[in-house]
Amino acid sequence: MSQENMEAAREVFEQWRRGDFSGIDSLPDDFEVVTAREMPDAATYHGKDAREWLWAWVGSFDSLRMEPVELTDVDDRVLAEFVQRGVPRGGSSPVEVRTWSLTTRRDGHIRRVELFLSRDQALEAAGLSE
């Protein structure tokens, strides 16, 4: 199962690297996204609200790409370190944000994504604290 999860994560990041976020629409109704606690809108979003949150994030950029730095197999989850690069909507200066996610898949679908702005927080959530 973990190899399947790693391959799925690689496929998603390949789409995101190209700026293709169309997979958001196919996330299941029991999908949830947990935003980083440092974010102004920090919360856990479910189903339609989670998809809308993701689209709002993508839509806040004129261009956005997400490139993986490292993917780590953590039992039934994948810990990803990735870099988000883009130009905020209406802006002219590109931004770059290093981000971590912990993704849970079940029955062939992404069910939960937890976002972190700190490597230490991501490692702790994955049970890999140093």
Q: How far apart are CA 1 and CA 79, in angstroms?
A: 15
Please name the fold of domain 2-125: Nuclear Transport Factor 2; Chain: A, (3.10.450)
The tens digit of pLDDT for each residue in 65-77 reads 999 999 999 988 9
Written as one letter, the residue type at 75 is D
In angstroms, the Cα distances linking 16 to 13, 38, 42, 84, 91 are 5, 23, 22, 9, 21
At residue 40 the predicted structure's pLDDT band, cuts being 50, 70 and 90, is confident
Calculate mean pLDDT across residues 20-27.
96
pTM, two decimals, is 0.91
Residue spans of the domains in the chain: they are 2-125
pLDDT at residue 2 above 90?
A: no
Position 107 scores a pLDDT of 86
Q: How far apart are CA 57 and CA 76, in angstroms?
A: 26
pLDDT at residue 1 above 80?
A: no
Position 58 scores a pLDDT of 96
Grouping H, G, I as helix, E, B as strand and the rest as coil, residue 60 is coil
